[in-house]
Structure formats: structure tokens, C-alpha cells
Amino acid sequence: MNPTEMTRMKPQILIARAIFPEVIAKLAQHFDVESNPSDALWTQAELTHKLQGRQGVFTTGGERIDAELLAACPDLKICANMAVGYNNFDIAAMTAAGVLGTNAPDVLTETTADFGFALLMATARRMAEAEHFLRAGHWTRWRYDMFAGADIHGATLGILGMGRIGQGIARRGAMGFGMKVIYHNRSRLDAATEAECKASFVGKEELLRSADHLVLVLPYSASSHHAIGAAELAQMKPTATLVNIARGGIVDDAALAVALRNKTIAAAGLDVFEGEPKVHPDLLTVPNVVLTPHIASATMPTRLAMAHLAADNLIGYLIHNKPLTPLNPAVLAL
């Protein structure tokens, strides 16, 4: 068989966004690859068109894989997300179509927990507000209450969503900063994990009422849509801070902007937004919010590990029939 015939026999995959060249090179050893080095943002129609005849797609969390796309791409067998979150996948439709979904868990846990804590500290200690003030040339003298914020050490840390990242934040708070940690989750952790994280399970209302700093780390789904809206914000302490590193849509951003303006809560730190990369215009005009562009997992080693894991899922499934982190393993039994 000549090299051209061998290339023709390789499964075909699409890489939907620009990614690390070394990961593309690894995939090219196994697949006929179309990549996107210019990082063009394809429409749904363009994505569907580019997937014709392809068995796999490397996605990065923003590409929507739904029933309509699946019906139009009958050769597709696997969608490998370079993200732990997978709310861009309609998993039920993928399972019905016999298409495997994979995500990239674990490799980003500690990095994302680091960022959650960094955002919490920047928010509580008003770092962004203070920096803007300084850059604008307003710093002319000391004042007893200048940018006085809230303490982190010894405060009560509330965590909504206690998966791997939530547990990482709990450990940082309890062991690094002597915080009292309370959490709410769909299901309570086992006693050993609670003890390891020094975290106590509470109801959602108690979490809202008692937390000095509330961090959101729950997955997005129809049931977590606007889990924090006007009613929930009203239950929080006026001195409390809220940090969202989970997904846009979990917080009602319009209601949050009102709460921040009215000082219903003291401050917020947001890495994710409803309809991102658009940001609710009212959030851009309130001072007491720290805004970052969805970068919680963004360190070079972690992003590289995430990309390798997505690539290894494509290779694992299409070449060896053994994906590493399947989301809908029922497809493997088909």
C-alpha cells in the first residue's frame, strides 16, 4: 500500500479551533486532520459542512453539538471536548445518534481551584477597583477606609457545587486560610471526603444566609439555570461576595448587576457570563465586580494537558475503541 492509500484509510477528524501545534501533530499521526490554525469562528452551518465524512471532532467547549447537527453528520462517531464542562453537548441526542462525547476532567482541577481562590481574594480585597483607581491617577493620599474590603482568613466560605474543583477550593480555604467551609450539592459527600475538605453540608438557604464568600462551581443544566437570581441574592449578607467560575447562566447577570449597584451584596468576581463573550452591559458599569474572560483553567501546562486528553480520547476511541473519559458510555455497548 502506498503512502497516499494509507492516508486515505485514516479516519478523518476536524479540530474546530486553534490548538497547540504539538497536539495537532500527534493527531495527524493517526488521522486525516482538518485543523483551524486561523481560529475562525465557524457558524453552525459551516461546522456541519466541515464535519461531512468525518468520524471525529475536537471541540473546545463552545461548539454546539445538537440533534440537528448530528442528523446532518451521519459519519460522526465522537466529539471530544477540551473542557471539563460539556453543556455545549446535547448528551441525550448524542446517545440516541450513537455518538460518543468525552470531556477533559481532573487535569484542570487544581489550576481551576487556584483561580477560584485568586478571584475570591481579588474580589474580597477589591483589587480590580483599587488598580483602576491607581491607573486613573486618583491616588493622592492615604485614607483610613480606602478600598477596605472583607477578610478571607477566618471567614465562612460557602461552596455551591462540591465536585472535584469545589473540593479543591474547600481544601485551600480550610487549610490555607483557616476558613469555616460549608457547602451545598445535589448529593452529600461521603464522610471521609467531608473530613478531608473540612467541609460541612448545609441546605441552600443556609448556605446563602451564612456564607461570607460564596463560590459557584456547579455544572450548568436546565435545573441550575439562574440558581442565583434576585431572590437568592436577597438572602445573602450585604457584606458577602459572590464568585462564579462555573458557567454563565447559573447566575442571573442582570439581577446580579442590580444587587451590586444596590449593595445587596458587597462584591462579585465573575469568570463566566450569560451569552459570553458578551457581558451584560450593567456589569461593565458597576465598580464592585472583578471580571475575567473565562480563564480559570488557563495555565499553559493545564491547557496542554486538556488538549492532550481530548486528543487521547479521539485516538483511544477511533483507533483502539477505548476512550479515556466517556460521558455517555452507553454508546460503547451499541
Residue closer to ligand DGY, measured from CB, 77 or 247: 247
67 backbone dihedrals φ, ψ, rounded to 5°: -60, -40
Q: Is 308 a catalytic residue?
A: no
177 backbone dihedrals φ, ψ, rounded to 5°: -130, 10
Residue closer to ligand DGY, measured from CB, 235 or 292: 292
Which residue's C-beta sits nearest to ligand DGY? 85
Q: Is 294 a catalytic residue?
A: yes
Write the binding mask 48 to 77 for ligand DGY: x where contact by CB under 6 A, - elsewhere.
Answer: -------------x----------------
- What nine digits make up the cell of 13? 477528524
Q: From CA 151, how far away is CA 87, in angstroms rounded?
A: 34
Write the binding mask 74 to 113 for ligand DGY: x where contact by CB under 6 A, - elsewhere.
Answer: ---------xxx----------------------x-----
Size of interface with ligand DGY, in residues (CB under 6 A): 7
State yes or no: residue 244 binds ligand DGY (CB under 6 A).
Answer: no
Q: Which of 206, 209, 276, 308 is catalytic?
A: 276
Q: At what angle do helices 109-124 and 127-135 cross, to 10 degrees?
A: 60
Residue closer to ligand DGY, measured from CB, 73 or 251: 251
What amino acid occupies position 80?
A
Q: Is 276 a catalytic residue?
A: yes
Q: Which of 213, 247, 280, 303 is catalytic?
A: 247
Residue closer to ligand DGY, measured from CB, 61 or 326: 61
- Residues 250-309 close enough to bind ligand DGY by CB under 6 A: 296-297
Q: From CA 87, how far away is CA 79, in angstroms rounded?
A: 13
285 backbone dihedrals φ, ψ, rounded to 5°: -110, -10
Q: Which residues are catalytic?
A: 247, 276, 294
Give me the residues that bind ligand DGY (CB under 6 A), please: 61, 83-85, 108, 296-297
